[in-house]
Chain A
Amino acid sequence: MNANLVLPFLSSAVMLVFTLLVFQRWLARRKPHFLFWAIGLGMFGAGSFAEAYFAGVGWSPAIFFVWYFFGAVLNAAWIGHGTLMLLFRRRWTAIVTGLLILGSLVALFLMLQVMPRLDASGFTASLPISEQYREIMPPVSDGAVIRLTTPFFNIYGLLTLVGGALWSAWLFLRKLVLPNRVVGNVLIAAGALSIGLASTLTRLGYGGYLYLGELVAALLMFAGFLMAAAPATEAERSEATASSVSAAA
């Protein structure tokens, strides 16, 4: 069994279902946080699919674009921005949305700039792309400025996604209400942290853990979302709302 094919394929399958579910929520409710989550989760799934493609089919510059641009640069920030939109419904979030879109467009420009300079002569399908991309992309000093943008997007994504989930879990825990949302948010935070850790290891030169980290992240975040979004009974909802109101008063 080829783990470099199976792990990302499973991740992309989980993320496809997850993305469709969240997108369906957006279609039904038109709340912007669902849209940002769906876009970010779709990017995550696209990145995982690209990894499976490299292992199963081979090199493709277009697939590398998908892997790096959506999978490495943007997805965490877009998912995290959805959480920001949920937690803060104020005017300044529109400014942050504008900055995110502008930053993504700048990143797109930088990514397109580096595409003709990729060197895939040493590519091998038996190794994860996360262990080869440094040799494929030119160094920052040679024009691959896009590589400098990843920490900015990922800091924002980690702070908003993990921070938002932990903050929500803590609020429910403090009020002693809705245990499913406490556990759901903790699972989401754990999933996001697992991909954050795997990405950090990749940055340190241990790219072999990335695919496993992605699968763990996909499963934990999906399970967390299902759990946190589980419909409560009427009695539970009234009880939680009442205690939430009294806790805020």
Chain B
Amino acid sequence: MRGDPDRSDSGPEAERAPSGPSRSPYSWLRSKKTSGSRISSGSPLYTRVLPILILAMGVLTAALILFAAGVILGIVPFR
């Protein structure tokens, strides 16, 4: 539920965060090939798995929307 990274919606805890070196609680997500908030272009998770997953979920979303539209149009029998 997040959009632009420039928008700071990370909660009050972000404002209280120390300015010195600290680790994000989700730093484990970053493989050795990623550095800080950057994603390495060589990381298979971010360059292959997730794009395919995003595409697949997009297709599934479109299918569900078409199904619901079919219900509205009377193509899919209403139960």
Asked if A pairs with B, the answer is: yes
Enumerate chain A interface residues (CB-CB to B < 8 A).
25, 28-29, 31, 33-34, 37, 82-83, 86-87, 134, 140, 147-148, 151-152, 154-155, 158-159, 161-166, 168-173, 175-186, 188-190, 193, 196-197, 200, 203-205, 224-225, 227-237, 239-241, 243-245
Known: A155-B65, A185-B2. 14 other contacts (CB 8 A): A34-B9, A82-B1, A86-B7, A148-B72, A151-B69, A151-B72, A168-B1, A177-B38, A186-B57, A203-B67, A227-B26, A229-B10, A239-B38, A240-B5
Q: Is the CB of A162 within 8 A of B1?
A: no
Q: Mark B18-43, 1 if CB is under 8 A from A, else 0.
A: 01011111100110001011111100
CB distance from B39 to the nearest CB of A (A): 4
Interface size on B, residues (CB 8 A): 49
Contact of A231 with B17 in the complex, beta carbons under 8 Å: yes
Q: Inside 8 A of B37's CB, which chain A residues have their CB?
A: 177-179, 232, 236-237, 239-240
Task: State the CA gap A249–B60 with chains docked (Å).
Answer: 33
Q: Is the interface of B mostly helix, strand, loop or mixed?
A: loop
Q: A28-B12, A159-B65, A239-B37 are in contact. Are A180 and B1 (CB under 8 A)?
A: no
Q: How far apart are B61's CB and chain A's nearest CB, in angstroms?
A: 5
Inter-chain CA distance A203–B67, complex, in Å, is 10
B64 pairs with A180, CB closer than 8 A:
no
A229 and B69 alpha carbons, distance in the complex (Å): 33
Question: In the complex, which residues of chain A have a beta carbon less than 8 angstroms from the beta carbon of B14?
Answer: 231-232
Interface of chain A, helix or strand or loop or mixed? helix
Q: Are B24 and A193 in contact (CB under 8 A)?
A: no
In the complex, A161 Cα to B12 Cα: how many Å?
Answer: 24
- Nearest CB of B to A189, in Å: 5
Asked whether A168 and B2 contact (CB < 8 A) given A151-B68, A179-B29, A196-B64, the answer is yes
A178 CA to B8 CA, complexed, in Å: 13
Nearest 3 A/B pairs, CB to CB: A236-B37, A231-B14, A151-B68
Residues of A close to B1: CB separation below 8 A: 33, 37, 82-83, 86, 161, 164-165, 168, 185, 188, 224-225, 228
